[in-house]
Amino acid sequence: MLTTSKRGRDFIATHEGVVLRAYKDVVGIWTIGVGHTARAGGIKPKPGMKITHEQAMDQLEADLRKFEGRVRKQACFDNQHSFDGATSFDFNTGRIHNATWVKRFREGELTRAEESIMLWVKAGGRKIRGLVNRRNAERRLIFYGDYGHIKHAEGQRRSEPLDILPREQDPMVKEAQELLTARGFNPGAIDGWWGRNTKGALLEYQKTHPHLTNDGILGPATMAQLRRDALVVKDTMQKGGGTVIGSGVLSFFSGPPWQWVVPTVFVMVLLYFGWRNRDLIAARLNKLLGREVD
């Protein structure tokens, strides 16, 4: 009976990251340890929670037992590398039981299975660059046995001393630079190189958020927060704006005093998004007021 190998566990831990303080993932779900959420059972992450590294690893083992059983039920991952990759996929998505690529893999349609796994790159209805990287890594592992290089993986913490910088551009650093710039923090050139300006902008960003550690390290929690910021802004503009416009049109044709209905709906939408994303609003206010969060 196959279980996740040591390399497989390292693969998952690298891509998920090991975070010992609770944080919100890209869609706002409280997470801790190695990508652990309350849905998996065991530890229930909540604001301010901290755990030890040993607790994180124990919870990972417990989570893996659950996902390994789900992968075995598919009865098609009969070698170690494909089993490890499929377990990573289910660990991240929880959808191994109804993913089209699994059906195609079982039926031997490997080319189509490869294409299908790359469709699982969205969170909150939006395509996430980090998920594209994750799916690509899992695709290479499942179909070709390539475990990749940990130093370039999505979950790696960017904290290298400035005198031993990496010798190639880092796509995760470039994404962070783009997101920091969009939030009003200046990382300098958007070039994928980790340097003093990028670290300084990242540290300033962390200081505004109540759920981040002020360490200047581009780890999983900070990257998830940056991506979540971008998603919330898009959702507020598109969903909120669509609600207001739609309500105004309906009110106009149905007879009520639409000049009052539209502002009322607008305020309600703002209150809803404000309550749902109050930590992001607090971060924005902290930046505007120059306050630092401990």
Question: The CATH number of the domain where 135 resides is what?
Answer: 1.10.530.40
The reply to whether 143 falls in a domain is: yes
The reply to whether 294 falls in a domain is: no
The reply to whether 105 falls in a domain is: yes
Which region among 17-21, 180-184, 228-232, 257-261 has the lowest average model confidence (pLDDT)? 257-261
Which residues span the domain enclosing 255?
228-289
| Distance in angstroms (rounded) separating the CA atoms of residues 268 and 247 | 12
Which residue among 120, 152, 184 closes a domain?
152
Which region among 99-113, 202-216, 220-234 has the lowest average model confidence (pLDDT)? 220-234
Length of the chain: 294
Share of the chain above pLDDT 90, in %: 56
What's the domain count of the chain?
2
10 and 147 housed in the same domain = yes
Residues 6+ apart with CB under 8 A from 72: 1, 2
Q: What is the mean pLDDT of the chain?
A: 83
pTM greater than the 0.85 cutoff = no
Which residue among 129, 152, 175 closes a domain?
152
DSSP string, 22-44: EEE-TTS-EEEETTB-GGGSSS-
Q: pLDDT for 122-154, tens place per residue? A: 987 888 988 999 999 999 999 999 998 654 334
The reply to whether 80 falls in a domain is: yes
The reply to whether 234 falls in a domain is: yes
The reply to whether 136 falls in a domain is: yes
The pLDDT of 20-49, averaged and rounded, is: 93
Q: How confident is the model at residue 155 (pLDDT cuts 50, 70, 90)?
A: very low
23 and 120 housed in the same domain = yes
The reply to whether 243 falls in a domain is: yes
Q: pLDDT for 242-286, tens place per residue? A: 554 455 544 443 444 545 555 665 566 566 556 666 676 777 677
148 and 247 housed in the same domain = no
